[in-house]
Amino acid sequence: MIKHQFIIDAKGKKKAVILSLKEFKELLEDLEDLTLIAERRGEPAEPLEDVIKRLEASWQKITT
More confident residue, 2 or 19: 19
Residue 49 in this model has a pLDDT that exceeds 90:
yes
Residue-level pLDDT at 3: 79
pTM exceeds 0.75: no
Q: For the chain, how many residues are written?
A: 64
Average pLDDT over residues 3-25: 93
Q: How do beta strands 5-8 and 14-18 pair? A: antiparallel
| pLDDT (tens digit per residue) in 23-48 | 999 999 999 999 999 999 999 999 99
Distance CA 5, CA 19 (A): 7
